[in-house]
């Protein structure tokens, strides 16, 4: 069986493919005679993991640590069936068993012997309450420019329920209007998302200091089009920075916070405030819904008005007035 190689590099970071995966899959085919369909599933799962771990940590699969494997499963969109979780764990276990024998890594098989039930239990935990999210949003020190950026990110995550990858891929050109953002979701599908008053305010504050943050990191103002930028090695804000920031502010107010839990909180609080489930799912960009970007764009004014009345961070929201008014 033939597996594509990377053109000119060992690992294609953007797409997750590593030429060593080809060696691994070829060995499986020759030694165990696995069906081509099984090998294709393995290939897809391994590239997905490698792409995720690079975005999450800045390093590739051969430098992953046990915490990465566990969090990868926890970051799975929605609650997967146990069999699907087991398949992912099996794929990683096979890869790292081979890589250990080949001297590529020193990850042992027992690393993957955690309970799938425990993973599903953590995934199904209730998200933070409205009051807890409110305390989280107040954590950044907005007298500092980094704090203004962090507050804008937190507000936008909670205002829209965006996936972490969608937020980090935003460019300065994605701001369609004062309350609209164009995002690229799963499968590179484009959609518009709406956000409310608080997010709008902090994004405006952040845009004033964006170039200063780039300069602080030694980057030219035109070095990146990313909306959110870093003072670190990379001009664009990275997933590991997002994860670290959420963890820091979460710990400060006694919460376990991840990008997915922010997304979960958005959906839950909107639904608790009376938003129809299908409307919430549409805003989340779930692939199983038969809604289109055109429908969202045509009804964006209705959606903005709907968020004003149903999202806790907006003044017209009943839940917002009752708890924070």
Q: Which of 94, 260, 264, 310 is catalytic?
A: 260
The b-or-e profile of 28-37 (16+ CB within 10 A means b, else e) is: bbeeeebeee
Q: Which of 15, 59, 215, 295 is catalytic?
A: 295
Angstrom distance (rounded) from CA 261 to CA 249: 14
Q: Which of 163, 191, 243, 311 is catalytic?
A: 163
The b-or-e profile of 150-164 (16+ CB within 10 A means b, else e) is: bbbbbbbbbbbbbbb
Q: Which of 89, 149, 263, 269 is catalytic?
A: 263
Q: Which of 144, 186, 278, 321 is catalytic?
A: 186
24 neighbors 98 (Cβ within 8 angstroms): yes
154 neighbors 137 (Cβ within 8 angstroms): yes
Q: Which two tokens stand for residue 222?
A: 């035109």
263 catalytic per annotation: yes
Q: Which of 120, 200, 207, 286 is catalytic?
A: 286
Angstrom distance (rounded) from CA 173 to CA 224: 12
Among 72, 15, 71, CA closest to 44? 15
215 catalytic per annotation: no
223 catalytic per annotation: no
311 catalytic per annotation: no
- Residues annotated as catalytic are 163, 186, 260, 263, 286, 295
């Amino acid at each position: 069986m033939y597996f594509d190689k990377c053109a000119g590099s060992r690992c294609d970071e953007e797409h997750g493919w590593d030429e060593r995966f080809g060696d691994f899959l070829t060995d499986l085919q020759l030694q165990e005679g696995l069906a081509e369909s099984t090998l294709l599933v393995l290939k897809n799962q391994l590239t997905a993991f490698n792409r995720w771990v690079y975005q999450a940590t800045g390093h590739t699969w051969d430098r992953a640590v046990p915490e990465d494997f566990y969090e990868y499963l926890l970051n799975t969109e929605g609650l997967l069936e146990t069999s699907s979780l087991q398949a992912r764990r099996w794929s990683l276990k096979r890869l790292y068993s081979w890589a250990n024998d080949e001297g590529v890594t020193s990850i042992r098989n027992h690393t993957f012997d955690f309970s799938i039930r425990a993973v599903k239990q953590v995934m199904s935990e209730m998200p933070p309450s409205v009051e807890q999210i409110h305390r989280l949003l107040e954590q950044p020190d907005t007298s500092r420019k980094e704090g203004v950026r962090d507050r804008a990110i937190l507000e936008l995550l909670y205002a829209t329920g965006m996936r972490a990858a969608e937020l980090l891929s935003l460019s300065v050109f994605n701001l369609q209007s004062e309350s609209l953002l164009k995002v690229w979701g799963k499968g590179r599908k484009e959609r518009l998302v709406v956000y409310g008053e608080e997010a709008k305010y902090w994004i405006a504050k952040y845009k004033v200091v964006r170039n200063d943050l780039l300069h602080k990191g030694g980057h030219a103002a035109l070095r990146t089009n990313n909306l959110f930028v870093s003072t670190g090695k990379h001009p664009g804000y990275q997933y590991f920075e997002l994860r670290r920031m959420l963890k820091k502010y979460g710990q400060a107010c006694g919460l376990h916070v991840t990008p997915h839990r922010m997304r979960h909180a958005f959906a839950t609080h909107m639904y608790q405030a009376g938003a129809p489930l299908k409307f919430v799912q549409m805003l989340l960009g779930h692939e199983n819904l038969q809604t289109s970007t055109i429908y969202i764009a045509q009804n964006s004014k209705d959606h903005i008005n709907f968020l004003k009345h149903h999202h806790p961070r907006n003044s017209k929201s009943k839940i917002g007035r009752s708890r924070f008014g």
